[in-house]
């Protein structure tokens, strides 16, 4: 979703804004703009399309002199991508400039009221309302105007604001949309995500809901919604700057796939001690774990897919009933939650609007909540009762790979812990599970090293029209993720089906040569899925099978086979997904798609 950057300091602002915005490109956008105070006026420049167009227009920022500015990459919600709708937005005499992430839900009502007061609008956006409303309330004191606006607008927002009458200051405010402040050596910055400021500082403040930050060249002050000054602690970001760079890989997605062994290790190792699972951050006593009546897993997209896998693992290993919900459904279906239930919200970004709303719904109903989150200090991490971090580091490609893998292993660890506490598995079994888990990084490396074979296969399918992914049990969950990976980055239509369900409709779509990826990692379901493969091949399907090493008889039924190393049945997703990720990646590259920033998609979906 949209990206925000702001700078005030000793250096020229425009090149810093453009550079910062380039670090936020992964979030997805369709236009970009910056505004810089030039010593007399706040000047804006906007451009639709890629940031490169804005850089060219401004000669890499050289045509926009000044040391204070705000910038934005817009992912269109209200109004088509156009220069008029691109940010920054201004009040009529261009003395106030605003960039905004989020959605002002009551903007139509506000727009009508402002129009009655002779305010004129030049865009279709909800954001322009904020610029005019600030103008309406501004009587010389920006904080007063900002707090009044905060009381009037409904919805979510992260705002960067400049007032011409206060040229040495950049203002920032947020509610339900992420925003950070970076404290740099020669100036201060705001941004919607850490990568945008990493080049200038590692010292950041996370702005919380309804807080205002006031940045000058050499000071940062915070206020609450009542305009009272508040104190905040800064945090040191310990990522290596390379973590947010491509480091020689052609795409972030490829780099992140190759980071999976490390991610899995980093998520596992701190939680395995002397042959036992230790999840200190869980903060639950053994008694509380024993009393869990039901687990509700709530998430979106790929995070939801890891939840589907976790359902099988929690139920199979720990014998705890699990319901898995898409967050966008859970939040509106008035779920039945009881005191002894546990709600687990899974999110890479920790900012997904539906997941955050689902978390709040669970908390409102008085149920214990646990966030499995990747981004430290994100909204879900802060608001969940407990948070278990996945240590994947920054994930830039829109298509998740390493965060997905980290989520899976975090869920396995929880399941083992719960199963042991509840007496469902013995200490010996725990040790065996942990041994298998610790082998995963090396096994993933091995699968990644086999990429040429998958690349070769993918090249044959760059023109595919439809691809189906099928499997049973955990293999169905793997298929869902395989299918999502393919469609989101290659734009090829693809569906995942429970293999036993094909006969109930989907099989009519199979034609001569239709590619079906079948996943068979669950030994007890293996023969059943083979029968489904035979049904498919006899109707002309070309079947790619992903199965465990040793299952060579599959070669009689499938057309192309990829073997994954042996692991415990609960952990096969971590291995089987690797060839499917590689397949999607190479199909996308072969089709010339924008692998890291697929059309219409955003990395962090902060609107409903
Ligand atoms: O940040 P989150 O984990 O909450 O995001 C959830 C989904 O938007 C995300 O997993 C999405 O499906 C990915 N782009 C898939 O690759």
- Report the atom number in ligand 1 closest to the C-alpha of 399: 16
DSSP 331: T
Domain 244-447, CATH class in plain words: alpha beta
What HEC string does 177-221 produce? CCCEEEECCCEEEEECCHHHCCCCCCEEEECCCCEEEEECCCCEE
Residue nearest atom 8 in ligand 1 by C-alpha distance: 301
Q: Give catalytic residue positions.
A: 2, 603
Domain 451-590 in the same topology as domain 3-238: no
The residue written with tokens 């919805």 in the block is 155
Residue 488 near ligand 1, beta carbon < 6 Å:
yes
* The pLDDT of residue 242: 63
* The pLDDT of residue 241: 62
Residue 405 near ligand 1, beta carbon < 6 Å:
no
What HEC string does 32-88 produce? EEEEEECCCCEEEEEEECCHHHHHHHCCCCCCCCCCEEEEEEECCCCCCCCCCCCCC
Q: Where are the domains of the chain?
A: 3-238, 244-447, 451-590
CA atoms within 13 A on the CB side of 94: 13
DSSP 312-369: HHIIIII---EEEEEHHHHTTS-----TTEEEEEEESSS--HHHHHHHHHHHHTT-EE
Q: How far is the CA of 342 from the centre of ligand 1 (A)?
A: 22
pLDDT-flagged residues of the chain (< 70): 1, 239-244
Count each helix (H run) and each strand (E run) in the chain, helices first: 18, 27
| CA–CA distances in Å: residue 339 to residues 203, 342, 363 | 40, 8, 11
The β-bridge relationship of strands 294-299 and 322-326 is parallel
User: Three-state SS for 496?
Assistant: strand
pLDDT in tens, 25-34: 877 788 999 9
Residue 352 near ligand 1, beta carbon < 6 Å:
yes
pLDDT in tens, 336-390: 999 999 999 999 999 999 999 999 999 999 999 999 999 888 889 989 999 999 9
Q: Are 313 and 570 in contact (CB under 8 A)?
A: yes
Sign of CA dihedral 506, 511, 514, 517: positive
* The pLDDT of residue 194: 87
SS3 content of the chain, % helix, strand, coil (to 5): 40, 25, 35
Residue nearest atom 7 in ligand 1 by C-alpha distance: 301
Q: How far is the CA of 437 from the centre of ligand 1 (A)?
A: 24
Q: How far is the CA of 94 from the centre of ligand 1 (A)?
A: 38
What is the distance between the alpha carbons of residues 171 and 89, in angstroms, rounded to a whole number?
15
User: Three-state SS for 308?
Assistant: helix
CATH classification of 3-238 is 3.40.30.10, yes or no? no
- Report the atom number in ligand 1 closest to the C-alpha of 352: 4
CATH superfamily of 451-590: Glucose-6-phosphate isomerase like protein; domain 1 (3.40.50.10490)
- In total, the chain counts a number of residues equal to 608
Tokens of 198: 């990493």
Residue 353 near ligand 1, beta carbon < 6 Å:
no
């Amino acid at each position: 979703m949209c990206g925000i950057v702001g700078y005030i300091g000793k250096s020229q602002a425009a090149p810093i804004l453009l550079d910062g915005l380039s670090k936020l490109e992964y979030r997805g956008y369709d236009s970009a703009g910056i505004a810089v105070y030039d010593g007399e006026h706040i000047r804006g420049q906007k451009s639709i399309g890629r940031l490169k167009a804005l850089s060219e227009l401004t000669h890499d920022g050289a045509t926009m002199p000044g040391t204070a500015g705000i910038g934005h990459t817009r992912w269109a919600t209200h109004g088509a991508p156009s220069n008029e709708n691109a940010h920054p937005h201004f009040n009529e005499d261009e003395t106030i400039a605003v960039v905004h992430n989020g959605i002002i839900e009551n903007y139509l009502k506000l727009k009508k009221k402002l129009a009655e007061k002779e305010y004129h609008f030049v865009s279709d956006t909800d954001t322009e309302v904020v610029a005019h409303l600030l103008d309406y309330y501004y009587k010389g004191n920006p904080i007063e105007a900002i707090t009044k606006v905060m009381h009037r607008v409904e919805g979510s927002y992260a705002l960067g604001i400049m007032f011409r009458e206060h040229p040495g200051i950049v203002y920032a405010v947020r509610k339900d949309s992420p925003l950070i402040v970076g404290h740099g050596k020669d100036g201060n910055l705001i941004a919607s995500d850490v990568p945008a400021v990493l080049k200038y500082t590692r010292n950041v403040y996370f702005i919380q809901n309804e807080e205002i930050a006031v940045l000058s060249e050499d000071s940062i002050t915070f206020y609450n919604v009542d305009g009272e000054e508040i104190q905040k602690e800064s945090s040191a970001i310990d990522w290596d700057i390379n973590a947010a760079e491509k480091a020689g890989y052609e795409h972030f997605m490829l780099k992140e796939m190759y980071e999976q062994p490390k991610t899995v290790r980093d998520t596992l190792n701190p939680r395995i001690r002397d042959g036992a699972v230790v999840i200190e951050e869980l903060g639950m006593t053994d008694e509380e774990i024993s009393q869990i009546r039901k687990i509700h897993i709530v998430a979106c997209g790929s995070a939801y897919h890891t939840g589907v896998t976790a359902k099988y693992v929690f139920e199979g290993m720990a014998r705890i009933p699990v319901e898995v919900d898409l967050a966008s459904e859970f939040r509106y279906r008035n779920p039945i939650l009881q005191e002894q239930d546990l709600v687990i919200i899974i999110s890479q970004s920790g900012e997904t609007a539906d997941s955050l709303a689902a978390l709040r719904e669970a908390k409102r109903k008085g149920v214990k909540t646990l966030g499995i989150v990747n981004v430290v200090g994100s909204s879900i991490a802060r608001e969940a009762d407990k948070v278990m971090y996945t240590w994947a580091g920054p994930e830039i490609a829109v298509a998740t790979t390493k965060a997905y893998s980290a989520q899976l292993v975090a869920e396995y660890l929880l399941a083992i812990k719960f199963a042991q506490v509840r007496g469902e598995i013995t200490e010996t079994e725990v040790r065996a599970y942990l041994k298998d888990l610790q082998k995963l990084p090396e096994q993933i490396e091995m699968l990644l090293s086999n990429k040429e074979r998958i690349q070769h296969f993918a090249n044959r399918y760059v023109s595919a029209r439809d691809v189906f992914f099928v499997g049973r049990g955990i293999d169905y969950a793997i298929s869902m993720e395989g299918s999502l990976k393919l469609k989101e980055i290659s734009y090829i239509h693809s569906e995942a089906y429970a293999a036993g369900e094909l006969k109930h409709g989907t099989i009519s779509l199979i034609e001569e040569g239709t590619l079906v990826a079948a996943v068979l990692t669950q030994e007890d379901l293996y023969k059943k899925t083979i029968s489904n493969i035979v049904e498919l091949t006899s109707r002309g399907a070309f079947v790619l099978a992903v199965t465990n090493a040793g299952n060579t008889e599959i070669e009689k039924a499938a057309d192309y086979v990829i073997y994954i190393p042996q692991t415990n049945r609960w952990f096969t997703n971590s291995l089987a997904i690797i060839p499917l990720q590689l397949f999607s990646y190479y199909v996308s590259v072969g089709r010339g798609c924008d692998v890291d920033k697929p059309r219409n998609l955003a990395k962090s979906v902060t609107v409903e």
